[in-house]
Amino acid sequence: MPRTSCYLIVGGEDPATNGNYYNTAFVIGTDGEIVFKQAKSVPIQFFKDGLPAREQKLWDSPWGKIGICICYDLSYSRVTDRLIRLGAQAIIAPTMDVADWGRHEHELHARIAPIRAAEYGVPIFRVASSGISQLVNRNGDVQASAPFPGELATISGVLEFRKPSSLLWIAYSRLCPFW
């Protein structure tokens, strides 16, 4: 596989025993191989949302230590507290906000990232499938956003880590409509 200078975070199912799975974010490295993965810590009750993560770890990326919160994990302080204790300098939060929710629900869920960023003093990049995507600085200020419903919308900006010299250029584009 040809080398690239980009990393890609994609969501999927990581198989477990007895037909179960972990709802997982996979980080694909510049050589096309999986370099890190994090399962969802708190699956949604009463949904087939996979098993809870066995552990939380940080991706020791080329730019710094990144915590990954999948979907509603960002809403739970017990999840984000652990990432901060581990030394997270930034958080990336891929989330599958259902398009059918409606504007109010999407706006409500989008309030979490700015609150968490200000609470912990770390930047957050929240990537929503059909909700509101956001790049939030460590003070809780939304630096960039992509709207709901937002098919084909793009969001990009610089994720500034705690170390002032460490910057990561990020971009996300909705290439196709989600369910």
**pLDDT above 60 (res 163):** no
pTM: predicted TM-score of the whole model, two decimal places: 0.86
Query: What proportion of the chain, given as a percentage, has pLDDT over 70?
Result: 87
- Cα–Cα distance between 64 and 94 in angstroms, integer? 18
Say how far residue 107 (Cα) sits from the centre of its chain: 17
Cβ count near 106 (within 10 Å)? 20
- Cα–Cα distance between 42 and 123 in angstroms, integer? 22
Question: What's the confidence (pLDDT) of residue 2?
Answer: 60
- Cα–Cα distance between 151 and 131 in angstroms, integer? 10
Q: Which residues, 6+ apart, have CB-to-CB distance to 49 below 8 Å?
A: 23, 40, 43
Query: Average per-residue pLDDT in the chain?
Result: 87
Question: What's the confidence (pLDDT) of residue 16?
Answer: 94
- Cα–Cα distance between 69 and 73 in angstroms, integer? 5
Cβ count near 145 (within 10 Å)? 19
Q: What is the average per-residue pLDDT within 61-90?
A: 94
HSE-CB of 3 using CA atoms within 13 angstroms: 1
Q: Give the pairing type, strands 59-60 and 65-68.
A: antiparallel
Question: What's the confidence (pLDDT) of residue 168?
Answer: 57
Q: How many Å is the Cα radius of gyration of the chain? A: 15
pLDDT tens digits along 26-53: 999 999 999 999 999 998 887 788 999 9
Question: What's the confidence (pLDDT) of residue 179?
Answer: 39
Query: What proportion of the chain, given as a percentage, has pLDDT over 90?
Result: 60
Assign 54 a pLDDT band (cuts: 50, 70, 90): very high
Q: Smallest Cα–Cα separation from 118: which of 91, 94, 95, 145?
A: 91
pLDDT tens digits along 102-155: 888 888 889 999 999 999 999 999 998 888 899 999 999 999 999 887 677 888
